Structure 1
Amino acid sequence: MNNSEREHTGARFASLAWDLAQNPGAEPTAQRIVELAVKTILCNGAAITTLRRDKTLEIIAGSDLQVLSTAVDIANRTGQSSTRAALEAKTTIVNNDVENDPRWDSYRRLMVADTPIRSTASFPLVLVGVELGVMSFYSEQPGFFTPDVLDDCAIYADHAAVALKAARAEDRGDQLAEAVSSNREIGIAVGIVMTRYSVTKDAAFDMLVVSSSHSNRKLRDIAAETVGSGDVPSWRSKRA
């Protein structure tokens, strides 16, 4: 990266936090993160990825979904990739020569045959112990991720984690407010759970949501039972 390019990168970082804060909600924020990553790092593409419960990779947001979907499909078929390694090891993983890297042979052959990606860098997005996924950057140029570029990627990933966590918290607050305003029993149930378990309003709402998900029942039904019994159904059965 030459001096003029690095000056451009510095200017982008100066306004990055403000820019990301303008996007309400987790999904728009994640998409803006990957779009700005390409402009800030001057790479060919970027993605935010997480692991599903079945341990397959899922793209939360991507700058070029055609290329990235192919890459994720290869990673899921082979069980190999720098993104998967970063998610599992919870550390930065760099693959600066996809075509010749000896770590993942099946992945390497398919990536070279089916995608233009020739170097990658993946950074876990973790903030205050909360795992938000992995921020991955890719280039069509081998050896793109020099120490200076990796420093910029690390700074960018830190900004991304802050923005994404804030957006998710905003979504959660909106979801709680909407649920409470639309169903009186949900609000009462939240209050009961807060008192019984000495937790915050957000944590109490999360307990109701988890109970709803695990029992495959509607949230309002879980709330009604909680109001009637004085406890969250799934938690009550565990305590019995």
Structure 2
Amino acid sequence: MVPTRNGADTSSAAADDLGTAEVFAALARSLAELGAMRPTLEQLVTCAVDLVPCDWAAVAAADHLGSQPARHSAGTDEDLMQTVAEIAGSIGTSPGWDAFKRGTVEYSRDLTAEGRYGSYPSEMVARTPIRSVLSFGLRLRDKPLGVLTLYGNVPDAFDECAQTRAALLAEHATIAIDAATAAYRAETLRVALETNRSIGAAIGILVERHKVSPEQAFDLLRVVSQRSNRRLADLADELVRTGHVSAAEHVSASDQQGAG
């Protein structure tokens, strides 16, 4: 038994702290192993419900917010989160919006008695079962990365301990989203470079084969793409790999001469 200065037993509290540390250490490893954006966001909202806990959770990885859920986002109830996004977007303010814009923590303890955020509280009460909202703006190097929002179905859903756990989760979310964003951008760049190389190689093949200019070769690919309803990059890749595109996708000699 470890007494505090006022005689209280702290052994239980110490054990709880150790357990929390172990849980979040395991979470950090799990998020690092996921890497990709979508599973990272899904893991974060699942952990929010289980660890904080809360009734619903949503997270967005974005550099701006709009009336629709961000492209990279996840929620534990998609229909409910769609409604929440519509409410916040139409009004232009909410705990999540303000937390995102300011990089702060916003806690609306009781939406039925909330005086901030315009008509957001009354709309939320009228259209959703949510009664309390806790939002964290996610920033790193003073750059907005997204927002993590937890929801409760009763007022004052988040006591001091829950807020502390939520803040820890937000820190992990910031690091995980930054890593996933970097991985996403690297993959996007890799795909773009590979696509450009394939298109360039395909143009070279057509220039040599049909004795046309590079511009005419590109237009030839574009015509085939439009007629076949296939992506130009896919056609270029097929041409580079096989030396031809499907017979049905060839254009006539007159098209080749007229391309460009």
**TM class by smaller structure:** 0.5 to 0.7
CA–CA separation in structure 2 for the residues paired with 1:54 and 1:19: 27
Change (3 A) 1:174 1:34: same
TM value normalised by structure 1: 0.68
Structure 2 gaps of 5+ residues are 1-11, 201-232, 234-260
Is 1:69 aligned to 2:64, yes or no? no
**Maintained 8 Å contact 2:112/2:122:** yes
What's the CA shift for 1:42? 1.3
1:29 aligns with one of 33, 40, 47: 40
Change (3 A) 1:13 1:186: farther
| Partner amino acid, structure 1, of 2:60 | T
Residue 153 (structure 1) aligns with: 166
Change (3 A) 1:31 1:54: closer
Change (3 A) 1:40 1:9: farther
CA–CA separation in structure 2 for the residues paired with 1:122 and 1:141: 16
TM value normalised by structure 2: 0.63
Counterpart mapping for 1:156-171 below 5 A: 156-171=169-184
Query: For each residue in 1:115-162, what CA deviation from the matched residue of structure 2 results, as whole angstroms up to 9, or x when unmatched?
Result: 111111111111223311111111112112222221111111010111
What's the CA shift for 1:186? 9.6
What's the CA shift for 1:52? 7.7
Q: Secondary structure at the match of 1:94?
A: strand
Q: Secondary structure at the match of 2:113?
A: coil
CA–CA separation in structure 2 for the residues paired with 1:57 and 1:91: 22
CA–CA separation in structure 2 for the residues paired with 1:75 and 1:153: 22
**Maintained 8 Å contact 1:51/1:57:** no
1:39 aligns with one of 44, 50, 58: 50
What's the CA shift for 1:7? 7.3
Q: Secondary structure at the match of 1:153?
A: helix
- Pairwise CA RMSD: 2.9
Which structure has the bigger radius of gyration?
Answer: 2
Identity %: 33
Change (3 A) 1:162 1:101: same
Q: How many residues align?
A: 188
Query: For each residue in 1:212-240, what CA deviation from the matched residue of structure 2 results, as whole angstroms up to 9, or x when unmatched?
Result: xxxxxxxx9xxxxxxxxxxxxxxxxxxxx
